[in-house]
A and B are shown apart, each in its own frame.
Chain A
Amino acid sequence: MTALTIKNLNVWFGAHHDRVDAVRGANFEVQVGESFGLVGESGSGKSTILKAITGLAPTWSGDISVEGTPLSGAKRDRAFYKTVQMVFQDPYASLHPRHTVDQVLSETLQLHGFKDIDTRVVKLLDDVGLGGKFRFRYPHQISGGQRQRVAVARALAGEPDILLLDEPTSALDVSVQAEILNLLTDLRDEHKLTYLMVSHDLPVIGHMCDRLAVMKDGEIVEVMDSEDLRQGTAKHDYSRSLLAASAAA
C-alpha cells in the first residue's frame, strides 16, 4: 500500500514579480513502512513539499494523497493530524517560547484525546532521551539539540503513521543524532511507521532511507535507491556533483 502519493505537484508563493515557483512538477510515492529521503540544494523546495502536505503552503496544484485519501487546499482535519506529523527544521521557531516542555507535550496529548497524560509525558521524554529534569524548562533554557528532541517527542505524541522529518538531526550532535536515528529505526519497526525525511547529510539519508529524490531549483532531478547513493552511481549531473562533493568531505 502507498502511504504517500505526490503527483505533478507545483507549489508557489507570492504573486507577480515576487512569485516564487518553489516546487515544479514533483512526482514520487512512498510505500507504507518505507523511508524516503529528499536531498538537494539549499532553497530547492524540499521543506516546501513537506509544508504542502501539512497544509502550510496554501497555493499548490497537482495531487497529494495520504493512505489513498486525496488532500485539497490547505485545511487538514483531525484525522490527518492523527495520521501525519511533522518535525520542523528550526526547533526554536516551532516551540512556543512561553510554554514549558511539559506544557508542550501535555497539550499535544490532550488534543489527541489521551487521558493518561502524566504517564505519557514521562514516557515520551524517556523515548527521546531527555530526563525528567528537562520537563519544566522553557525552550530558551535548553540547548539546540535538546529542543529538537522535544520537537520529536511532540510529533510522536499522537502515535502517527507517517512522520515528515525536516532536517531532524541537523541541530544535533553526532551522539544524540545516533540516538535519535536508532529511535526512529525502532519506532518504524514497532509501529510500521513511514518516513519522509529531508536532510543535506547524505550518510544520514543513506543510513535511514530506502530510496531518495534529489532536488535542484524546484525540481526533482532524480529518484534513486540508497544503494546507488552508497555506490556513488547517479544519473543526473547535479546528483553526481552532490555525491562527489559529499565523498570529498
Chain B
Amino acid sequence: MSLLEVENLWVRFPTRQGIFDAVRGVSFNLERERLGIVGESGSGKSMTGRAILRLIRKPGIVEADSIKLEGQNLLDLSEPEMREVRGQKISMVMQDPKFSLNPVMTIGDQIMEAYLLHNNTSKAQARVKAIEMLEAVSIRDPERVMRAYPHEMSGGMGQRIMIAMMLIPDPQILIADEPTSALDVSVQRQVLDIMDGLVKKRGMGLIFISHDLNLVSEFCDRVLIMYAGRIVEVCDADKLHEAKHPYTQGLLNSLPRLDQPKKYLEVLQRDEAWTKEDSVRGTR
C-alpha cells in the first residue's frame, strides 16, 4: 500500500465560457519519496496539490475515483475529519507564502500558536522552539523576526517561515508548492536539506511543485510533468534531461544559460495534439 494513491482526479471550475477542467483525470502515487511536479504555468500543479487536501474553493469541484492516504479514502471523510488530516497528517506550503500568514499577528505568535496546538507544553517552551525553528531555516535575527509582522519580511523570509510552520505537526506528507522560488541558492540548499532529512529519517512523503527543472532533477526521486491538466510524462528525476516528450524538451530548452548567451530565449511551441493525449499514470 502506498502512502498516498490518487486515482482519476479531476478539478473543474464553472466559468462564463462553460466548465473549465483544470485537472483532467490524473492518477499517481506517493511513497516515502521526493516526488516532483513540474509543468508550465496554469497546467494544474497547484490545483492537484490543493485537491488532495480538498482545498479547492467553491464553485470549484473535485472529483476522483479515490484519494487514499494509507488506504483511507479522503473523499469519504467529513469536513471536520478532513481538518484533522490537514492539521496533522498532510501539510501544504502554499505558493504565495505571505498570503497564508495572518497579517495582523506577529510571526512569533503564529509559530507559537501552531506549536502549542500540536504539543502539550508551556508558552516559554514554545517560544524556545519557535526560535529554534527560525534558526533551522537560516533566519538571521530570529528574536526580531518573532516580534515582526508578515509585511515586514522579505520574500524569501516569508517562504522560510511558512516552511518552518508546516513542519511543526511532523506531517506524513508535505505538499510544497514553489517553496524555494524566492530563495537564493545557499538558503535554498539549507531548506532542501531540511526536507530531505524528513524524507530520509522520518519517512515523510514529499510532493515538490516547482518551475525549476534543474532543481527538481537534482533534488527529487521522480518527476511528473503536467500539461493542460494531465500528466504527459513521468521519469526518474536524474533522467529529466533525457525526457522524450517534446513539451518537456521544450521546457528544458527555454532555460537561460550562463555559458550560452543569446539575445532571445527559445519559446515553447505548443502542439494542439498534446491536449488530447491520455494522461500518463504516475504510479510505480
Q: How far is the CA of A20 from the CA of B174 in the complex (A)?
A: 33
Residues of B within 8 A of A99 (CB): none
Are B185 and A178 closer than 8 Å at their CB atoms?
Answer: no
With contact pairs A146-B42, A170-B181, A249-B218 given, residues A178 and B258 touching in the complex (Cβ less than 8 Å) = no
Q: A249 and B261: CB pair below 8 A?
A: no
Contact of A173 among B13, B40, B96 (CB under 8 A): B40
Q: A13-B152, A92-B96, A174-B255 are known contacts. Are A249 and B41 too (CB-CB below 8 A)?
A: no
| Chain A neighbourhood of B257, CB < 8 A | 203
Q: Give per-residue flags for A223-249: 1 if the beta carbon is below 8 A from chain B beta carbons, else 0.
A: 000000110000000000110011101
A189's nearest neighbour on chain B, judged by CB, is B263
Binds B, one of A25-33, A61-69, A137-145, A156-164: A137-145
Residue tally, chain B, CB below 8 Å to A = 57
Partner of B251, one of A40, A89, A142, A175: A175
Contact residues in A for B98 (Cβ distance below 8 Å): 90, 92-93
- Expressed in whole angstroms, the Cα–Cα distance for A203 and B265 within the complex equals 12
Tell me, yes or no, whether A41 is within 8 Å of chain B by CB. yes
Chain A residues in 8 Å Cβ range of B256:
178, 181, 203-204, 206-207
Q: Is the CB of B182 within 8 A of A145?
A: no
For B259, the chain A residues whose CB sits under 8 A away are: 230
* Chain A binding surface, main DSSP class: helix
Closest residue of chain B to A39, judged by CB? Answer: B184
- In chain B, positions 140-179 with a C-beta closer than 8 Å to chain A are 140, 144, 147-148, 152, 154-158, 160, 178
Is B42 in contact with A145, judged by CB distance below 8 angstroms?
Answer: yes
Q: Out of A202, A207, A229, A242, which one reaches B265, CB within 8 Å?
A: A207
The answer to whether A18 and B211 touch (CB under 8 A), given A42-B156, A177-B254, A242-B184, is no
- A164-187 residues with Cβ-Cβ distance < 8 A to B are 166-167, 170-179, 181-182, 185
Q: Are B184 and A178 in contact (CB under 8 A)?
A: no
Contact of A43 with B by CB under 8 A:
yes
Q: A246 to chain B: closest CB distance in Å?
A: 5
Chain B, interface SS category: loop
Say yes or no for A7: interface residue by CB 8 A criterion: no
The verdict on A181 contacting B265 (CB below 8 Å), with A171-B178, A230-B259 known, is yes
Query: Considering the complex, which residues of chain B in the window 253-284 have a beta carbon less than 8 Å from any beta carbon of chain A?
Result: 254-259, 261, 263-268
Known A200-B185, A242-B186; judge A178-B265 contact (CB<8 A): yes
- Please determine whether B189 and A245 come into contact, CB atoms closer than 8 angstroms: yes
Question: Chain B contacts of A166 at CB under 8 A?
Answer: 155
Taken together as a complex, chains A and B put the C-alpha atoms of A36 and B235 apart, in Å, by 38
The answer to the question of B250 belonging to the interface, with a C-beta cut-off of 8 Å to chain A, is yes
Contact A178 B155 (CB under 8 A): no
**In the complex, A167 Cα to B158 Cα: how many Å?**
14
Question: If A141-B13, A171-B181 touch, does A203 touch B267 (CB 8 Å cutoff)?
Answer: no
* A contact residues around B187 at 8 Å (CB): 41-42
Whether A43 touches B140, Cβ cut-off 8 Å, given contacts A13-B152, A242-B185, is yes
Q: Known contacts A136-B16, A230-B258: does B157 contact A178 (CB below 8 Å)?
A: no
Residues of B within 8 A of A47 (CB): 154-155
Q: In the bound complex, do residue B267 and residue A18 qualify as a contact, i.e. CB atoms below 8 Å apart?
A: no
Q: Please, how many angstroms separate the alpha-carbon atoms of A241 and B185 in the complex?
A: 10
Would you call A182 and B182 a contact (CB within 8 A)?
no
**CB-CB nearest in chain B for A41:** B184
Please name the residue on chain A nearest to B143 by beta carbon: A17
Instruction: Tell me if B182 and A143 are in contact (CB < 8 A).
Output: no
Residues from 186 to 219 in A contacting B, C-beta threshold 8 Å: 200, 202-204, 206-207, 217
Interchain residue pairs with CB less than 8 A apart (23): A18-B147, A43-B156, A47-B154, A47-B155, A92-B99, A93-B99, A141-B13, A145-B41, A166-B155, A172-B41, A173-B211, A174-B251, A174-B255, A178-B268, A179-B267, A181-B265, A185-B263, A200-B185, A203-B255, A204-B256, A242-B185, A242-B186, A249-B214
Identify 13 new A-B residue pairs, CB closer than 8 A, beyond the known A42-B154, A90-B158, A179-B267: A17-B144, A18-B147, A39-B184, A93-B96, A142-B42, A144-B46, A170-B182, A171-B95, A173-B43, A174-B211, A175-B267, A230-B261, A249-B214
- Give the interface of A toward B (CB within 8 A): 13-14, 17-18, 20, 39-43, 47, 89-90, 92-93, 133, 136, 140-146, 166-167, 170-179, 181-182, 185, 200, 202-204, 206-207, 217, 229-230, 241-242, 245-247, 249
Return the 10 tightest CB-CB contacts between A and B, nearest first. A145-B41, A42-B156, A178-B265, A207-B256, A175-B268, A178-B254, A92-B96, A245-B185, A200-B184, A173-B211
